[in-house]
């Protein structure tokens, strides 16, 4: 019976593919690599690697402890590398307009009940529920792919991260 | 418009007609006839294509079965066409297009799938994991061809939402993913927050997928849908986009052939390795090749505004401008 090896990427070990152009512009494919983007990002910077109207995919370099953030809608954090602990708080008062998009930075831990925490490793997807607050922590360096909506802290640097020729 | 099902032929297969199209099969091939022409496709390929078209509700945009036959979704109605996106057929004026109600064509395809899929053959499975589609009629595989598509409301594993997969629920780890870590995240939920503090092992979940090339929704951020899927062998259809679609390669490698949506002229090849992210523009068609079973995250925008934007020419053709 054939033995297979599943290849996942990591900050320390990834191989990048690419667009081989026949008759097109590589920029139309917005081709990037999550680990390469994270390797060049500041801790907890939210760098968009995908955008579809108002929706974005953000790469987050998890390193140390993040600020507290409040989200008006469900977000989903998929750990692509490392071990990331996510703490959740149920704010005593509404912190974000439910109609807004993307999460917003909080100055400190909000008043409210501790909901619990998740310790997630590669491949684990965690829901960051609407109306709640969260922060992340990673002892080393991790990578998170966040399914969310563009917000004031979404960073766009397509020309730096995407294949252009 | 009515669907007609003719009495079985000598091999035991029924013939189906809808509008001006007639579909029949023999031991190896499906023959499609329309008022200005006819065409043949190997039956295993045909069943894999029809299976996806049914499971996806005709998907977004165009589902080409090959360079001649396919469907185009108008989100309420659907076109069945022959040669519409083939320059030679158009030039020769033998192309043909007919519009059906969504359910009408779907019912025809469902009846065809049930009648033409033999016992032991699963159109969703990788070729190494299923029996043969060929030969005379022999039973059916209705359990396989009527699988329910996973569509999470918030996220797989959230109480009341789509369940996790396990050996006990009939989803063993696939042979190609036997090395995928199965441990679930550590969840510490305070009393009363068990329904809010939720996390699951997506890679383990995907390692237990029993289908190929069949995106299903595992999380929804409003209209932003994570539709991961496991891929092995080839994407049977050539998907013609009507909106920008994004891929995130979660594991292994898939190679994509990208062509002009309307002419089929080659535009690019996209090689995706684990961690790569790429968009498919809205004016292309693509098909994929996966030599080893791979995990692919298809990221879709399911906004009901988009069909209207497409109709008005307002939907972006390219993912981002920079």
Please choose, from the candidates B60, B58, B48, the residue with its C-alpha nearest in 3D space to the C-alpha of residue B80.
B58
Q: How far apart are CA A108 and CA A89, in angstroms?
A: 12
* B52 within some domain: yes
For chain B, the average pLDDT equals 96
**Do B125 and B184 lie in a common domain?**
no
Kindly state whether residue A89 falls inside one of the protein's structural domains.
Answer: yes
**Average of pLDDT values for B298-307?**
92
Distance from the A46 Cα atom to the nearest Cα atom in chain B, whole angstroms: 16
pLDDT at residue number A164: 95
Asked if A74 and B154 come within 8 Å (Cβ–Cβ), the reply is yes
Residue A2 included in any domain: no
Task: Find the domain containing A115 and state its range.
Answer: 48-159
pTM for the model = 0.96
Q: What is the mean pLDDT of residues B246-269?
A: 97
- Distance of CA B256 to CAs A17, B249, B283, Å? 11, 12, 15
Contact B221/A5, CB-based, under 8 Å?
no
User: Where among B145, B164, B184 does a domain terminate?
Assistant: B145
CATH number, position B83: 2.30.31
Contact call for residues A56 and A50 (beta carbons, < 8 A): yes
Same domain, B87 and B191: no
DSSP B220-273: EETTEEEEEEEEEEE-SSEEEPSS-EEEEE-SSEEEEEEEETTT--EEEEEEEE
Q: Is residue B135 part of a domain?
A: yes
Q: Are residues B271 and B227 in the same domain?
A: yes
How much is the average pLDDT of B235-247?
95
ipTM over 0.95: yes
Asked if residue B28 is part of any domain, the answer here is yes
Q: Which residues of B touch A28 (CB under 8 A)?
A: 279, 281, 318-319
Asked whether residue B161 is assigned to any structural domain, the reply reads no
**In angstroms, how far is CA B219 from the centroid of its own chain?**
18
Report yes or no: A44 and B242 within 8 Å, Cβ to Cβ.
no
Residues B121-140 have a mean pLDDT of: 97
Q: How large is the greatest C-alpha to C-alpha distance in chain A, in angstroms?
A: 58
Buried b (16+ CB within 10 A) or exposed e, A125-142: bbbbbbbbbbbbbbeebb
Total structural domains in chain A?
1
Q: How far apart are CA B72 and CA B239, in angstroms?
A: 10
Q: Which residues of B touch A14 (CB under 8 A)?
A: 273-275
The predicted structure's pLDDT at residue A1: 77
Nearest-angstrom CA–CA distance, B259 and B15: 33
Q: Residue for token digits 């996790």? A: B164
**Nearest 10 degrees: Cα torsion B155, B58, B259, B252:** 30
CA B283 to chain centre: 18
Any domain includes A68: yes
- Same domain for B54 and B16: yes
Task: Please check whether residue A154 lies inside any domain of the structure.
Answer: yes
Q: Are residues B100 and B219 in the same domain?
A: no
CATH of residue B222? 2.60.120.10
The string of pLDDT tens digits covering residues A77-121 is 999 999 999 999 999 999 999 899 999 999 999 999 999 999 999
What are the counts of helices (DSSP H) followed by strands (DSSP E) for chain A? 2, 12
Structure tokens at B170: 């009939």
**Amino acid B2: pLDDT:** 60
* pLDDT number for residue B5: 76
CB-based contact, A90 to chain B, within 8 Å: yes
Mean pLDDT, range B210-230, rounded to an integer = 97
User: What CATH number corresponds to the domain at position A120?
Assistant: 2.60.120.10
CA distance B223 to A54: 10
**Position B166 in a domain:** no
Determine contact: A21 vs chain B, CB below 8 A: yes
Place of tokens 């998170």: A144
pLDDT reported for residue B307: 87
pLDDT at A2: 87
Residue B261: count other Cβ atoms within 10 Å of its Cβ: 23
Query: Could you identify the residue written with the tokens 């996390």?
Result: B199
Looking at the structure, tell me whether residues B137 and B65 fall in a common domain: yes
**Residue A12 lies inside a defined structural domain of this protein:** no
CB pairs under 8 A between A and B: 236
Handedness of CA B289, B293, B295, B299 (dihedral sign): positive
Q: Which of B126, B145, B164 is the last residue of a domain?
A: B145
Rounded mean pLDDT, B76-101: 96
In which domain, by residue range, is B190 found? Answer: 175-210+212-311
Is A80 a domain residue? yes
B160 assigned to some structural domain = no
Residue B129's pLDDT band (cuts 50, 70, 90): very high
Residue A17 belongs to a domain: no
When divided into structural domains, chain B yields a total of: 2
Distance from CA of A85 to the nearest CA of B (A): 9
Assess whether B118 and B205 both reside in one domain.
no
Work out the percent of chain A whose per-residue pLDDT is above 70. 100
Q: Is the pLDDT of residue B27 over 60?
A: yes
Question: What's the whole-number mean pLDDT along residues A2-27?
Answer: 97
Q: Are B241 and B193 in contact (CB under 8 A)?
A: no
């Amino acid at each position: 019976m054939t033995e297979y090896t599943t290849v996942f990427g990591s900050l320390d070990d990834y191989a990048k593919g690419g667009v081989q152009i026949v008759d097109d512009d590589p920029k139309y494919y917005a081709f990037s690599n999550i680990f390469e983007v994270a390797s060049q990002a500041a801790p907890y910077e939210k760098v968009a690697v995908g955008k579809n109207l108002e929706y974005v995919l953000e790469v987050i370099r998890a390193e140390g402890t993040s600020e507290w953030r409040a989200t008006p809608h469900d977000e989903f954090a998929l750990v692509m590398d490392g071990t990331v602990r996510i703490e959740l708080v149920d704010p005593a008062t509404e912190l974000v307009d439910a109609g807004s998009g993307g999460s917003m930075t909080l100055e400190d831990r909000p008043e409210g009940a501790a909901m619990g925490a998740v310790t997630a490793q590669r491949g684990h997807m965690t829901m960051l529920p609407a109306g709640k607050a969260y922060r992340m922590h990673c002892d080393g360096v991790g990578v998170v792919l966040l399914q969310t909506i563009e917000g004031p802290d979404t960073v766009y640097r397509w020309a730096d991260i995407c294949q252009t020729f | 418009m009515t669907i007609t099902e003719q009495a079985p032929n000598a091999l035991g297969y029924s013939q189906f007609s809808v509008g001006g199209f007639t579909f029949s099969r023999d031991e190896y091939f499906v023959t499609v006839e329309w008022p200005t022409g006819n065409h043949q496709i190997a039956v295993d390929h045909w069943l894999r294509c029809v299976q996806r078209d049914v499971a996806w509700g005709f998907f977004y945009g165009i589902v080409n079965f090959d360079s001649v036959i396919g469907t185009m979704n108008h989100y309420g109605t659907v076109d069945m066409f022959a040669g519409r996106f083939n320059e030679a057929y158009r030039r020769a004026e033998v192309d043909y297009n007919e519009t059906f109600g969504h359910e009408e064509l779907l019912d025809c395809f469902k009846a065809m799938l049930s009648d033409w899929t033999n016992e032991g053959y699963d159109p969703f499975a990788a070729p190494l994991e299923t029996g043969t589609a060929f030969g005379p009629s022999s039973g059916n595989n209705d359990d396989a061809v009527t699988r329910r598509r996973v569509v999470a409301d918030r996220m797989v594993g959230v109480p009341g939402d789509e369940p996790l997969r396990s050996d006990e629920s009939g989803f063993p780890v696939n042979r190609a993913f036997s090395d995928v870590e199965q441990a679930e995240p550590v969840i510490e939920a305070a009393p009363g927050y068990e329904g809010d503090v939720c996390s699951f092992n997506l890679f383990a979940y995907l390692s237990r997928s029993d289908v190929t090339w069949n995106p299903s929704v595992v999380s929804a951020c409003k209209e932003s849908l994570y539709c991961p899927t496991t891929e092995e062998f080839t994407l049977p259809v050539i998907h013609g986009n009507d909106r920008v679609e994004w891929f995130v390669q979660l594991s292994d490698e898939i190679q994509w052939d990208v062509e002009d949506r309307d002419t089929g002229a080659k535009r690019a090849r996209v090689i995706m390795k684990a961690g790569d992210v790429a968009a498919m523009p809205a004016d292309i068609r693509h098909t994929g090749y996966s030599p080893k079973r791979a995990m692919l995250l298809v990221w879709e925008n399911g906004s009901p505004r988009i069909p209207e934007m497409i109709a008005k020419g307002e939907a972006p053709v390219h993912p981002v401008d920079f």
